[in-house]
Structure 1
């Protein structure tokens, strides 16, 4: 089949390829009824002209936390005009201005000017609008640990939760979402005294639940009989091994693309075997090829470090010798590598103020060295 034939070929095994996107919101959201009910209970007072109950939403990666928040926010806004729900990814927005720019955009439909307008005016406009419209504001801060890493958490929580002190009638709440379940955050006393959250736990999915979720996703994404239960069982096993539902969803997408490229009407064993070879290295190569020079330099230092216990402090010394970069530049680069899921960082409770971070490589040295672009 030529390139033009591929581009113009009408037949497809995908009923809805978007069903395999990482941010796809399934209509039939399973196994999280008790968590959704707990979130609804937190929101209910806001619907009755009271203040929402704050919450900490806890669970490891890909356990449905973000989907639950987005689904419940969707339901609230479909049924009431008295609550504004704002979801914010704190990996991408770690500053006070960044967080409130997202809130501003959610309320007014456009972002505030980046320069020339003081933060206080943006904050005032948000809160005055909420009071004038008699609306409550609920802000979901996903991966909230990034706000603590950047030392901005206390101020942001204070700004949101104590708005009623400066703006009479302001009704605000925070849902703090944590994927790093070992992370222990500490807020200042004057923030903690008003946060007092309800804790909502998302346990990892069982094997049966994973099978059911992925089966449902195949019904949404593929036409009937494209994938057998036997192949799906193998994908479930791989998903369970990884502990990440997104691995299974991505495998379904890649298998579908491989089958379609061969003009096959169904996914078979060879497509799965090929997908298993491709999903890790291909996406890893793509990520590594997109790195800047500084990001590459930092990753190389991590990959080639001989001791298992690499701390951020030790890494900064090596990075500074190699690039002469400032600590803030180092920190931004390290956060980017974590955001790209090349590394994990874990607070050890040691060092100054217990802020020492351990750096953990998510891939083997061999995998990264094979995919690294050679100069």
Structure 2
């Protein structure tokens, strides 16, 4: 047992600034992404000169710095006259109307009416403002894969990319960000969008373990008090983070390990704190994904948990009893959960009935149900 000199008092903390370990914290320095920043700056540079920027496609696994890079560059663009840079989180705003409502709010600094305003009116107010003020609009559709899951990607992009044709003088550039490496963005767009969308491609690879150590060490220096976390616990955090490929897991793990040390009354974070915290931190990405689901999607996961491995028709009957939704909507929900890697929907042969899908959870049922 530690002596009293190693124990925290009630009003002490191992943290200097706990906010450093929040997911939305924007670091002052951005390590190991110089090539990616250069690629994005190349695409965006025309906007600073009052011209329409190049479009860009940003891809890479989750937790590799894509959103952070966009936020840093958009912060610099917003400080310049004549440029309006808006990031839209498509996990939250996953329809064309929702995307343009977010653009409207960013431009006019108030939300459009919740009802009674058509998309055409919303679109024209935005483009009229751009032409009247001579502003260049740069739009980042972050997690654009969610627009594809909802079947809204082509219509949304078509409206943005053709804005200059319907409103002469409107200058709009688009950055798409996707963490779904199985999604072929260009191929999944309809032909009229493919003909005008020729993006610069910027890829964010997973960080290797040495890069993870560099990034997490800076968070440790800024977030923890001196000598709270030594090299061995940090190396373990980096090793566990590298296994998941998601830097956000490591950042969350540092915070949870610090909280675990505080709960023990310890002034230092030890190996045991990291190991205990990892059981929760390793599911941080899953928890975030589940938190973005709609009520019907959440209910479908619960039904599948009760009917794991059963045929889609059987699952639908139970789901219909719970929600009264039709089969078409049910099929759309199954496809989306499959694309999100929450559900495995595999086809099997059924004697005398051809091929049928069997549905099962892609993660342990208790892990998903506890986080729902």
Unaligned runs of 5+ in 1: 1-7, 349-355
For the residue of structure 2 that corresponds to 1:112, the secondary structure is coil
Shift of the alpha carbon at 1:291?
9.1
Cα pair distance change 1:292/1:133, threshold 3 Å: closer
- Answering whether residue 104 of structure 2 is matched by residue 107 of structure 1, we say no
Cα pair distance change 1:21/1:98, threshold 3 Å: same
Most deviating of 287-296 and 203-212: 287-296
Contact 2:130–2:137 (CA under 8 A) maintained in structure 1: yes
For the residue of structure 2 that corresponds to 1:93, the secondary structure is coil
What is the CA deviation profile of residues 176-218 of structure 1, one whole-angstrom value per residue up to 9, with x for unaligned ones?
Answer: 1110011113222322222111111111101110111111111
Any residues of structure 2 matched to 1:31-42 within 5 Å, and which? 31-42=32-43
Q: Which residue in the other structure is 1:352 paired with?
A: none
Question: Aligned partners of 1:301 and 1:258: how far apart in 2?
Answer: 34
Q: Which residue in the other structure is 1:326 paired with?
A: 326
Any residues of structure 2 matched to 1:158-237 within 5 Å, and which? 158-185=158-185, 186-237=188-239
Shift of the alpha carbon at 1:84?
0.7
Question: Aligned partners of 1:151 and 1:112: how far apart in 2?
Answer: 23
For the residue of structure 1 that corresponds to 2:195, the secondary structure is helix
What is the CA deviation profile of residues 267-306 of structure 1, one whole-angstrom value per residue up to 9, with x for unaligned ones?
Answer: 1123223213444589989999999985564223333555
Q: 1:257 aligns with which of 259, 263, 272?
A: 259
For the residue of structure 2 that corresponds to 1:194, the secondary structure is coil
Cα pair distance change 1:193/1:156, threshold 3 Å: same
Two-structure CA RMSD over aligned residues (Å): 3.5
Most deviating of 56-65 and 314-323: 314-323
For the residue of structure 1 that corresponds to 2:134, the secondary structure is coil
Shift of the alpha carbon at 1:10?
3.3
Q: Which residue in the other structure is 2:146 paired with?
A: 146
Shift of the alpha carbon at 1:146?
1.6
Contact 1:161–1:172 (CA under 8 A) maintained in structure 2: yes
Question: Aligned partners of 2:358 and 2:247: how far apart in 1?
Answer: 26
Contact 1:183–1:347 (CA under 8 A) maintained in structure 2: no
Question: Aligned partners of 2:330 and 2:66: how far apart in 1?
Answer: 30
Contact 1:154–1:188 (CA under 8 A) maintained in structure 2: yes
Q: Which residue in the other structure is 1:86 paired with?
A: 86
Contact 1:13–1:226 (CA under 8 A) maintained in structure 2: yes
Question: Aligned partners of 2:178 and 2:357: how far apart in 1?
Answer: 17
Unaligned runs of 5+ in 2: 1-8, 348-355
Q: Which residue in the other structure is 2:49 paired with?
A: 48
Question: Aligned partners of 1:286 and 1:35: how far apart in 2?
Answer: 25
Q: Which residue in the other structure is 1:274 paired with?
A: 276
What is the CA deviation profile of residues 244-269 of structure 1, one whole-angstrom value per residue up to 9, with x for unaligned ones?
Answer: 11111111101111222333211112
Most deviating of 259-268 and 104-113: 259-268
For the residue of structure 2 that corresponds to 1:140, the secondary structure is strand
Question: Aligned partners of 1:64 and 1:241: how far apart in 2?
Answer: 17
- Answering whether residue 30 of structure 2 is matched by residue 18 of structure 1, we say no
Q: Which residue in the other structure is 1:243 paired with?
A: 245
Shift of the alpha carbon at 1:307?
4.0
For the residue of structure 1 that corresponds to 2:196, the secondary structure is helix
Q: Which residue in the other structure is 1:60 paired with?
A: 61
Most deviating of 313-322 and 22-31: 313-322
Question: Aligned partners of 1:167 and 1:345: how far apart in 2?
Answer: 45
Shift of the alpha carbon at 1:344?
5.8
Contact 2:342–2:361 (CA under 8 A) maintained in structure 1: yes
Contact 1:59–1:201 (CA under 8 A) maintained in structure 2: yes
TM-score by length of 1: 0.83
Q: Which residue in the other structure is 1:4 paired with?
A: none
Q: Which residue in the other structure is 1:77 paired with?
A: 78
Question: Aligned partners of 2:84 and 2:153: how far apart in 1?
Answer: 21
For the residue of structure 2 that corresponds to 1:195, the secondary structure is coil
Question: Aligned partners of 2:94 and 2:298: how far apart in 1?
Answer: 23
Contact 2:244–2:282 (CA under 8 A) maintained in structure 1: no
Question: Aligned partners of 2:156 and 2:299: how far apart in 1?
Answer: 33
For the residue of structure 2 that corresponds to 1:56, the secondary structure is strand
Question: Aligned partners of 1:34 and 1:282: how far apart in 2?
Answer: 28
Shift of the alpha carbon at 1:12?
1.7
What is the CA deviation profile of residues 313-335 of structure 1, one whole-angstrom value per residue up to 9, with x for unaligned ones?
Answer: 88546523554323576478669
